């Protein structure tokens, strides 16, 4: 179990995590990437921005 | 079974209340009143309830004893009839504005008339469960909050509780059902359709409730928009620049306030198209969705609160309070999640 770096919600990690694995935070929807395994470190995954007309 | 009656059941809030209570497993609706439609089947006013009940409207004068009386009468009428109501019902849940406030001078300032029963002000528990759950457990008199006040208070209160809000400017966009089911010049279709009409830039009556709950200052404006149901409260909250409020801090504040609440959801999503609260998907549900974003450059936080004005802002709130008053699970009768697409 780790915490989302964006909203601090608990994020469940699989039993056999892999560096570079992508996860989604259930609460804030941020796509997360496993940056390191020992200890497990999560970061925001780079993502394609949707065009919101901005 | 708990026997309930609805006074003034021909309006939109009364119809929603009846829809919920007819399906509530612990409730039997024994009477629904309407002076205008006395003798008519309730589906004459609420066509969605056709085939679900054989109840007919009765006049107020025929109310007989019940365990709980819900009053959906127009503002002023509950206060005028409160002694009659207390004679027939052990408990009263008022969806109108008559007993929401405790100070008669504040009532007079916002409603422009002297309160007819100032002796009863303060005897009713204000019906927002998230504020007064413990008081509701033993209440026999409940005054449900105004719909705009409900959305605003639920959106803002955690920031005031956390001590980070200094002031707030609130703009609510509201649907046409807020105005009730009686026609007016403003509701005439060519006038109302497509409206984006500022109808109360200052001095809205629900400000009285907001000021009573939040330490403020809170400034409030209301705008009619093209929608039948729903309220979206956009709250610009100015925070102490030394408080270091960022999105992560806001998550913590709102989780602390609402993580255990059955009808408040935090909606702040980084993906998809539904990233912030949208009243459109709440139609018919009792949820209040709350989202937020910190603007650190301006020492400002934007909080968004969305509800269905007829549900969390009226009938749903009343049933949630009713459930608490009777020791029932809070979600009972209120499980409907809304529609998508709506």
pLDDT at site B176:
86
Closest-CA distance, B128 to chain A, in angstroms, reads 25
Give the predicted TM-score (pTM) of the model. 0.93
CATH class of A2-44: mainly beta
pLDDT at site A49:
56
pLDDT greater than 90 at residue B40: yes
CA distance B100 to B207: 12
CA distance B52 to B48: 9
pLDDT at site B216:
79
Tens digit of each residue's pLDDT, chain A (54 residues): 799 999 999 999 999 999 999 999 999 999 999 999 999 999 999 866 556 565
Beta strands in B49-128 (DSSP E): 57-58, 66-71, 89-94, 125-126
pLDDT at site A50:
58
Please say if B147 is a catalytic residue: yes
Catalytic residue among B66, B72, B144, B147: B147
Contact B269 A28 (CB under 8 A): yes
**Four-point Cα dihedral B46, B48, B54, B56, nearest 10:** 0
Contact A7 B248 (CB under 8 A): yes
Kindly state whether A27 is in contact with chain B, defined as any CB-CB distance less than 8 angstroms. yes
Contact B251 A24 (CB under 8 A): no
Give chain B's domains with CATH numbers: 2-145+312-325 (3.40.50.720), 147-308 (3.30.360.10)
Contact A8 B251 (CB under 8 A): yes
Q: With beta carbons under 8 A apart, name residues in chain B contacting A26.
A: none
- Report domain extents, chain A: 2-44
Main-chain dihedrals φ then ψ at residue B28, nearest 5 degrees: -120, 120
pLDDT at site B234:
98
Sign of CA dihedral B33, B38, B40, B43: negative
B96-125: string of b/e by CB count within 10 Å (b at 16+)?
bbbbbbeeeebbeebbeeebeeeebbeebb
pLDDT at site B154:
98
Chain B, 260-289: which have a CB under 8 Å from a chain A CB?
266, 268-273, 275
Give residue-wise pLDDT tens across range B181-198: 778 888 888 888 888 888
Closest-CA distance, B220 to chain A, in angstroms, reads 28
Q: What is the ipTM of this complex?
A: 0.75
């Amino acid at each position: 179990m780790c915490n989302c770096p964006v909203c601090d919600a608990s994020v469940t990690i699989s039993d056999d995590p892999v560096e570079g694995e992508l996860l989604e935070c259930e609460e804030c929807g941020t796509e997360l990437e496993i940056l390191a395994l020992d200890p497990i470190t999560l970061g925001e995954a780079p993502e394609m921005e949707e065009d919101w007309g901005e | 079974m708990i026997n309930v009656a609805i006074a003034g059941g021909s309006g939109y809030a009364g119809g929603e209340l009846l829809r919920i209570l007819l399906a509530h497993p612990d409730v039997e609706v024994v009477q629904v009143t309407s002076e205008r439609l006395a003798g008519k089947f309730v589906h004459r006013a609420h066509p969605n309830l056709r085939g679900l009940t054989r109840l007919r409207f009765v006049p107020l004068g025929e109310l007989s004893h019940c365990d709980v009386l819900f009053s959906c009468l127009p503002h002023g009428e509950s206060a005028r009839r409160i002694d009659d109501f207390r004679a027939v019902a052990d408990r009263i849940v008022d969806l109108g504005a008559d007993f929401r406030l405790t100070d008669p001078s504040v009532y007079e300032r916002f409603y422009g008339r002297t309160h007819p029963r100032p002796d009863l002000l303060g005897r009713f528990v204000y019906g927002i469960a998230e504020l007064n759950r413990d008081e509701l457990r033993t209440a026999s008199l409940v005054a449900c909050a105004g719909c705009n006040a409900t959305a605003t208070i639920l959106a803002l209160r955690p920031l005031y509780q956390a001590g980070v809000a200094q002031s707030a400017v609130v703009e609510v966009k509201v649907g046409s059902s807020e105005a009730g089911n009686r026609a007016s010049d403003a509701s005439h279709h060519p006038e109302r359709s497509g409206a984006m009409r500022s109808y109360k830039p200052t001095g809205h009556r629900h400000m009285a409730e907001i000021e009573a709950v939040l330490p403020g200052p809170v400034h409030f404006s209301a705008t009619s928009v093209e929608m039948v149901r729903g309220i979206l409260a956009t709250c610009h909250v100015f925070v102490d620049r030394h408080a270091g409020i960022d999105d992560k801090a806001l998550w913590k504040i709102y989780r602390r306030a609402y993580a255990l609440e059955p009808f408040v959801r935090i909606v702040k999503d980084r993906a998809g198209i539904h990233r912030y609260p949208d009243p459109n998907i709440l139609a018919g549900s009792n949820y209040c969705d709350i989202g937020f974003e910190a603007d650190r450059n301006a020492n400002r936080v934007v909080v968004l609160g969305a509800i269905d004005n007829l549900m969390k802002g009226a009938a749903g709130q009343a049933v949630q309070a009713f459930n608490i008053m009777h020791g029932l699970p809070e979600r009972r009768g209120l499980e409907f999640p809304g529609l998508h697409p709506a």
